[in-house]
Amino acid sequence: MLDSTDFTTQDIDILAGSDRQLNLRLFKPTGVDAAPIVLDLHGGAWVKGAYEECFARDEAFAKAGIAAASLDFRDAEHGYPTSSIDINYAIRWFKANAAELGLDAGRVGVTGQSSGGHLAMLAGMRPNDPQYTTIALPDGSPAVDATVQAVGMNWPVINPLSRYHNALKEREAGTGWVGDIPERHDLYWKTEAAMGEGNPVLILERGEDVLTPPAIWVQGRPDPVHDYRDPNGTVDLNEPDRFVANYRKAGGEIEIFDLEFETREEMSSDPQVAFFAKQFG
């Protein structure tokens, strides 16, 4: 991969001409023909984040010769599965428009942070799920799907249901980090049934027929918000280790990269870039 400081940015509405917008900012390395592309998803417990939070990470990708795009997907009161619908469409849109944009349709990945990491994995596991593929590409577009070559996650909320239960338990105990996290879950997910359905941990434990592309989990420690044990579960593992065990059992390759919690934000781009560079070749 290129070691460069040169890149360009472009703001695109990928639903231009429809009844709503779906905006992204594309960071593209200069001097790279047919660059691989990573779609980047912000966090915020599905409610409070903004796509600008991805810009620093996407600059790091572009400087390494990998194009990256921060997506302003639907979240908050729009509710599940609108985020997944927008993400699925964006992956297909990039593949359909890769040649025009100077990208490689065969090297597409997805990454995200916190709730964005959850959405990234959900996109990687369920690229052809009918509930996520409801936005059609424009007439005349090539036939493409939303499969990805690799998935990156920074401290994902990998199990929305257990995190909801854990936050309620910790609020009762007076733990300070909880804040309005349960309310964010309620706004986006609406029901605990939905938190269980769109749930990568439980998807694997239910034995659903899903894809398991190569993945990385970057985790700051200690992190009680993302690295905890399901208070209602019977598995004697914290959620990162529980997911990794299930993912590997299902045939997927996944690595966990640990960081110090205090420096995780500024240090997380390097392992992500190295992982995708390896996967894209």
Q: Count CB-CB contacts under 10 A for residue 122.
A: 29
Tokens of 62: 């572009």
pLDDT digit string (tens) for 214-271? 999 999 999 999 999 999 999 999 999 999 999 999 999 999 999 988 888 888 899 9
pLDDT digit string (tens) for 112-160? 999 999 999 999 999 999 999 999 999 999 999 999 999 999 999 999 9
Domains of the chain: 7-280 (3.40.50.1820)
Tokens of 238: 């914290």
Backbone angles phi, psi at 106, to 5 degrees: -90, -5
Q: How far apart are CA 143 and CA 136, in angstroms?
A: 11
Residue 261 has what pLDDT? 87
Give pTM, 2 decimals. Answer: 0.96
Strand ranges of the sheet holding 35-41, from the earlier edge strand across to the other edge:
7-13, 23-29, 67-71, 35-41, 103-113, 150-154, 215-221, 254-260
